[in-house]
Amino acid sequence: MNADKIYCNGVVVTVAEERPAAEAVAVAEGKIVAVGSNQEILALRGPDTEVVDLRGKTMVPGFVDAHSHFINGLQVLTYANVSAPPVGPVNSIADLLQVLEQHKARWKPAPGEWIVGYGYDSNMLSEGREMTCDDLDTVSPDNPVMIIHVSLHGAVLNSLALRTFDITADTVTPPGGVILRKPGGNEPAGLIQEVAFLPIFARMPKPTPEELLERMQGAQEIYAAAGITTATEGASGVSDLALLTRAAREEKFYLDVVSLALMTELDEILQEHKPEEFGHYRNRLKLYGAKTFADGVPMSRTAFFRDPYLLPGPNGESPWRGEPMFPYETFLGMFQKAYKHGIPLFIHANGDEALDMLLLAHETAAGDRRCEKLGTTIIHGQFARPDQLKKFAEYQINVSFYTEHTFFFSDAHLKNLGPERTHPCSPLKTALSLGVRCSNHTDFSVLPIDQLLTIWTAVNRISRSGQVIGEQERVTPLQALRAITIEAAHHYREEDRKGSIEVGKLADLTVLSDNPLTVDPLTIRDIKVLGTIKEGRIIFSAEHAPWKEGARA
């Protein structure tokens, strides 16, 4: 067979055990037809074959996004970035308010229209306190204002936004939720989190479906520019899934998109999508599994732990261990429903007590605790204990870790939990040694889509303040690369067609400026994505991509 396209003179990192390295790759009809030396592959050149000289650049498998929120890519295009450096410019409350003022001046919202920011993290504010509704009222008392927490598990609302959602001194805080109160009374201070935030996020006005459809191209560009060929929408409600289904029907996707149905809306989703429809691509969209939550997030002290935090809870509770998101019987029912329908279940869980609750629910719901056929996957699993990791391996439960926490949030974890619990967080190396199938993720838009930074954090585990967090959990660059390629593909049961550069697989490929396996580990984050190739077609090309430098032959 003559190849449609040949990439040669490169450093090809296949992540395949049989042939881990090569120089060239041949592609035909969107699939990889040969991998080998320049001489071997150029022998497949025909009269119409396009040959691209990689000029020593590195080719790796197209990155598979293990967990993010694709729908958020449609939203953040019009939100204010109120993140702390290096993601955004905010170091103080004054900085944040200035960003919102600039955003307001640019977009000129009419009275009553929403002003929304994303990436808020009180741990990074120099004032050392939460933003309040009074702070946000100074931006615009005539507009509802919301700054979404970096975790996506809460937000701070101004007074008008609180009134819009009828949150008053008489509003009862629901179990598993947080409504921060003003000192000395019961008036809401602005911060709403976890279960109390879910109805707010669901009811918040969104752009029209037509406006969101117009943004599909821009959202996919964010992923493609990061070298990603398969993206994830990690918690799709009914309206989200309807939008994605329409986009697929109108053939607006050039990336593959995997959607996980929000478990709290699964009954309604199953009215439109039968269980047998799960797991199959239709015009590049695959409804695959369901997503639920065991607890909250450690940096906000809403993750659920066996032992108390070192600091009080959000409303001064002490001792405070956090809370489960749902009562156990409700949580167990979610496992039973997913397993009954054969729908893979993905569970957000951070604290060790939440993971104990997860294991108990799985053991109760699964007739066979070894659940490779079920496809159960833990999202984050940050504070898993060694005894829990052994059970994950025994039960064949996958884990998608979140090593970027070691850089972005471990300074907060040290204050909240102390070094003994913080240093082993995101225990990727231990999990791998025990045989757990592990991926790694960014949780975009919690953090930016930056797969090289994901590798860097797994290899180096250095915090913002420069501390090494859990040196014993550092992995090799190859292990870190596999976590965002072949292992992520395994979580979606696609390792037979994606995740490595092997004959017969899709020609999903990413070209990098350097080889993450051989550079100084501290410089991995400086490597650039030069090109992204989906089934043989270039979907992203940087300014200095090889094919832009006259490297065609």
Domain boundary among 136, 171, 196: 196
Here the CATH number for the domain that contains residue 293 is: 3.20.20.140
* Domain annotation covers residue 73: no
CA 228 – CA 230 distance, rounded (Å): 6
> Look-up: residue for tokens 């070298």?
227
Contact 294, 349 (CB under 8 A): yes
Q: Are residues 181 and 219 in the same domain?
A: no
Q: Assign residue 117 the CATH number of its domain.
A: 3.10.310.70
CATH number, position 44: 2.30.40.10
Backbone angles phi, psi at 211, to 5 degrees: -65, -40
Q: For residues 180 and 195, give the distance between their C-alpha atoms in angstroms, rounded to a whole number.
A: 13
Measure Cα distances from 360 to 229, 332, 365, 391, 476 in Å. 35, 8, 9, 11, 33
Interatomic CA distance for residues 121 and 125, integer angstroms: 7
Residue 218 lies inside a defined structural domain of this protein: yes
The dihedral of CA 407, 408, 410, 411: what is its sign?
Answer: positive
**Virtual torsion, Cα 89, 92, 93, 96, nearest 10 deg:** 0
Pair 126, 264 in one domain: no
Distance of alpha carbon 170 from alpha carbon 188, whole angstroms: 9
Domain end (from 442, 470, 491):
491
Could you give phi then psi for residue 538, rounded to 5 degrees? -70, 120
Same domain, 116 and 231: no
CB 115 within 8 A of CB 109: yes
User: Is 70 among the domain residues?
Assistant: no
Planar angle of CA 190, 323, 183, nearest 5 degrees: 35
Element (H, E) at 421: helix 419-422
In this structure, are 183 and 219 located in the same domain? Answer: no
Q: Could you tell me if residue 524 is inside a domain?
A: yes
Q: Are residues 299 and 393 in the same domain?
A: yes
Distance CA 198, CA 203 (A): 9
Residue 346: half-sphere exposure toward Cβ, Cα within 13 Å: 26
Cα gap 444→431, rounded to integer Å: 23
pLDDT value, residue 553: 46
* pLDDT number for residue 372: 66
Q: For residue 497, is it within any domain?
A: no
CB 442 within 8 A of CB 407: no
pLDDT at 536: 96
Angle of CA points 484, 394, 382, to nearest 5° = 45
In terms of Cα–Cα distance, which of 91, 6, 18 is closest to 53? 6
Check whether residue 460 and residue 512 sit in a common domain. Answer: no
* pLDDT, position 370: 67
Domain that holds residue 451: 210-491
Answer yes or no: do 230 and 285 share one domain: yes
The DSSP annotation for 268-316 comes to HHHHHS-GGGTTEEETTEEEEEEEEES---GGGT-S--SS--SS--TT-
Backbone angles phi, psi at 346, to 5 degrees: -115, 125
Say if residue 509 is in the same domain as residue 387.
Answer: no
- Verify that 449 and 517 share a domain, yes or no: no
180-199 tens-digit pLDDT: 999 989 999 999 999 899 88
Residue 442 pairs in a beta bridge with: none
Task: Say if 68 falls within a structural domain.
Answer: no
* Residues constituting the chain: 553
Residues 6+ apart with CB under 8 A from 520: none
The 3-state DSSP composition of the chain as helix, strand, coil percent (nearest 5) reads 35, 20, 45
Q: Examine the domain organization and report whether 273 and 179 are in the same domain.
A: no
CA distance 523 to 535: 30
Give the residue from 491, 517, 535 where a domain finishes: 491
> What angle, rounded to 10 degrees, do the helices at 352-365 and 386-395 form?
30
- 172 and 96 within one domain: yes
Single-letter residue type at 53: D
How many Å apart are CA 422 and CA 429, to the nearest integer? 15
Intervals of the chain under pLDDT 70 = 368-372, 549-553
Strands 345-349 and 285-293: parallel
- Residues 315 and 381 grouped into a single domain: yes
The total number of structural domains in the chain stands at 3
* Entry pTM: 0.91
From CA 51, how far away is CA 552, in angstroms rounded? 6
Nearest residue to 117 (alpha-carbon basis) of 129, 89, 163: 89
Q: Is residue 77, in this structure, part of any structural domain at all?
A: no
* Residue 553 belongs to some domain of the structure: no
Structure-token pair, residue 47: 């009269």
